[in-house]
Structure 1
Amino acid sequence: MTKTFELNAYLGERRKLVDEAIVRALPEAGAGDPGRLKEGMRYAVLQGGKRMRPLVIIAACEAVGGAAEAALPACCALEMVHAYSLVHDDLPAMDNDLERRGQPTVHVAFGHAEAILIGDALLTCAFAALMRGADRVPPANLVAAVRVLAHHAGVDGMVGGQALDLALGQDIRDLAALEQVHALKTGALYAAAGALGALYAGADADTVRSLESWGLKFGVAFQHADDILDDDQKALRAQALARVDQLVGECDAIAAPLGDKAEPLRAISKWVRDRAHDAAAGVKAD
């Protein structure tokens, strides 16, 4: 690839593939839908969003010689896990959010108990979606994919991060403590994305670990950028911005040996660095 690589065009093309795959992977609503459960699952996932986690999966897969289409089962699975986490996070017992992306949150549109079940259904559906890659992925890699997703979505990853976030509260004054939350709550699913992309490309264990590390670093940088955009954690603003630069540099060092095929990964990490600096300068971006 050349220096004129167009990230927006790349992301737009891959996002279309992901969105189409997710539509196919979700159960159809309509007759035989118990308590509007399937309708709620589709509502939770298909309202839009950047799809950054599945896009990282595809970029990681392509960086080690895989095809975007081969990674789509993992893309669907990770986006379902992400969507279920948002459904549960929005509940009154946690963040009590009433809108997401300009639409009523799932518990507002479908009811509180129903939202819990919709999240549960998305989590279990995610592992079924992951298995749709069985005919394209080496068996050992498929087993590893299940292990990776379960680990990073669970108590040692995203769920643990949410619990820690609730325990520590919103005004964290220590950068190490803040990054522990970011690494679990946000970084874990990006770590899963890097690993899953490599696994669905048939990569070896060392490459999987390398791209898993890329995803974790990117995820922490991504959350720092979001904090700056949302005007959160003001006391740590300067330190967080410096950490974004450091983490993106570490991401680029991991991607360097992969050559031109990793240009999308480098462009994505540059995007998050630019996003953080623009936000710090008062330029609000999506």
Structure 2
Amino acid sequence: MSDAFDLPSYLDECRAAVNAALDAVLAMPEAGQPGADDPGRLREAMRYAVLQGGKRMRPVLTIAACQAAGGDTAHALPAACALEMIHAYSLVHDDLPAMDNDLERRGKPTVHVEFGHANAILVGDALLTDAFEVLARGTEGVPRANIADAVTILARCAGINGMVGGQALDLIAGQDIADLETLERVHALKTGGLYAAAGALGGLSSPTAAPEAATQLERYGLAFGIAFQHADDVLDDDQPSLRAEALARVDQLTAECRTIAEGFGEAGKALVAIADWVQARAKRAASGDLRDTV
């Protein structure tokens, strides 16, 4: 178990590294450089969308997976940033009137409220496109073949066979899904897609990873992502008719995560702790404690 692992400190360190990397990736060009005029305030809006905060759990999982496979934080940062940029684009588009029509996110106006509807669409498009450039650049020491595989996996997990397909299924299924199988299909695509990518891309970011590591870590990410969304449902009081089944599945999914993580020995300790956290998150919420702390 992860009793001796200081997860809060680990999360703080990972988030600080990711936030600094995102700030650099999305830096405003200096006067005289291409894009410095920032037409439509798109660059400003991209920073607004990405740098407002959040749990950063997808990049944290990318870093933990990379470390489990023998890499370090620096190796994982391009993939971590790419994932967070795609996650941010999905939130910008989800908030639009045609989707959820949300006016606030994290206590601030949503991007379409602050910058306009058309610009919000373009901001999402730009974040998605630039994410693949960030990933494709990679970092020193990571084999180019690994980066090519990472691009393919991220495209699959973020597209019609992952997050986007899950969003479409969610729009059709609505908020009162009658059976666990359908609910988990939505969760596996819409939420699990990017978490699966986080695991796989973390493994591929390690210069010394064993060939099978990315596959194992992708499975960890998928199981974690489904468990994470079940916990979110409890916190948001969604899908109450499936609550008992969902909580039982959280136990099963996090047990699978721990088994995979423990296969990496000492290097997998952060992954064990992250699985423990999401299980505890669901149980706290089910007991009536709705503080979403981490």
TM range (shorter): over 0.9
The match for 1:282 is 288
Deviation track 1:50-88 (CA, whole Å, cap 9, x = no partner) reads: 100000000000111101111100111000000000000
Corresponding letter in the other structure for 2:268: A
**8 A contact 1:29–1:38 mirrored in 2:** no
Q: Which of 223, 227, 231 is residue 221 of structure 1 equivalent to?
A: 227
Matched, 1:36 2:41: yes
Instruction: Give the drift of 1:134.
Output: 4.6
Q: Does 1:4 align with 2:4?
A: yes
Instruction: Measure the CA separation in 2 of the matches of 1:29 and 1:134.
Output: 22
Counterpart CA distance in 2 for 1:153 and 1:83 is 12
| Counterpart-to-counterpart distance in 2, 1:3 and 1:104 | 39
Letter in 1 for 2:273: A
* 1:117 CA drift (Å): 0.2
* Equivalence for 1:171: 176
Residue 267 of structure 1, CA deviation: 0.3
Once the two structures are superposed, what CA deviation does each residue of 1:202-237 show, in whole Å capped at 9, x if it has no partner? Answer: 324311100000000000000000000000000000
Match of 1:254 in 2: 260
Contact 1:71–1:197 (8 Å) recurs in 2 = yes
Pick from 228, 231, 246 the counterpart of residue 237 of structure 2: 231
Distance 2:291 2:86 in 1: 25
Does the aligned pair in 2 maintain the 1:130–1:146 contact within 8 Å?
yes
- Alignment match of 1:69 (pick from 67, 74, 83): 74
Are the equivalent residues in 2 in contact too, given 1:40–1:106 (CA < 8 A)? yes
| Offset of residue 5 of structure 1 | 1.3
Aligned CA-pair RMSD = 1.3
Contact 2:78 2:139 in 1 (8 A): no
The answer to whether the 8 Å contact 2:75/2:139 transfers is no
Deviation digits for residues 135-183 of structure 1, max 9, x if unmatched? Answer: 3211110100100110000000000000000011111011000000000
Counterpart of 1:142 in structure 2 is 147
In the other structure, the counterpart of 1:271 is 277
Give the distance between the partners of 1:174 and 1:34, measured in 2 at CA.
47
Mean CA deviation greater in 127-136 or 170-179: 127-136
Residues 1:140 and 1:6: Cα distance change in structure 2 (over 3 Å): same
Q: CA deviation at 1:131?
A: 2.2
| Secondary structure of the corresponding residue to residue 37 of structure 2 | coil
Q: TM-score of the superposition, structure 2-length normalised?
A: 0.95
Q: Is the 8 A contact 1:41 1:122 kept in 2?
A: yes
Cα separation, 1, equivalents of 2:115 and 2:200: 34
Q: 1:29–1:36: 8 Å Cα contact kept in structure 2?
A: no
Give the TM-score normalised by the residue count of structure 1: 0.98
Gaps of 5+ in 2: 31-35
Letter in 1 for 2:22: I
Q: CA–CA distance in 2 between the matches of 1:58 and 1:154?
A: 22
What is the rounded CA distance, in whole Å, between the counterparts of 1:69 and 1:168 in structure 2?
Answer: 40
> Does the 8 Å contact 1:153/1:159 carry over to 2?
yes
4+ aligned runs moved over 6 Å, structure 1: none
User: What amino acid sits opposite 1:51 in the alignment?
Assistant: R
Q: Deviations over 1:32-63 (max 9, x none)?
A: 10110100000000000010000000000011
5+ long unaligned stretches in structure 1:
none
Query: Match for 1:32: what amino acid?
Result: D
Letter in 1 for 2:79: A
- The 1:155–1:10 alpha-carbon spacing in structure 2 relative to 1, beyond 3 Å, is same
Is the CA contact 2:200–2:217 (under 8 Å) kept in the aligned structure 1? yes
**Partner of residue 190, structure 1:** 195
Question: Residue 129 of structure 1 aligns with which residue?
Answer: 134
Please name the residue that 2:16 is paired with: 16
Aligned residue identity for 2:241: A
CA distance in 1: counterparts of 2:130 and 2:261, whole angstroms: 32
C-alpha displacement of 1:3: 4.0
Q: 1:19 to 1:88 in 2, by over 3 A?
A: same
State the secondary structure of the residue aligned to 1:205. coil
**Offset at residue 114 of structure 1 (A):** 0.6
Match of 2:123 in 1: 118
Matched, 1:98 2:103: yes
Report how far residue 244 of structure 1 moved: 0.1
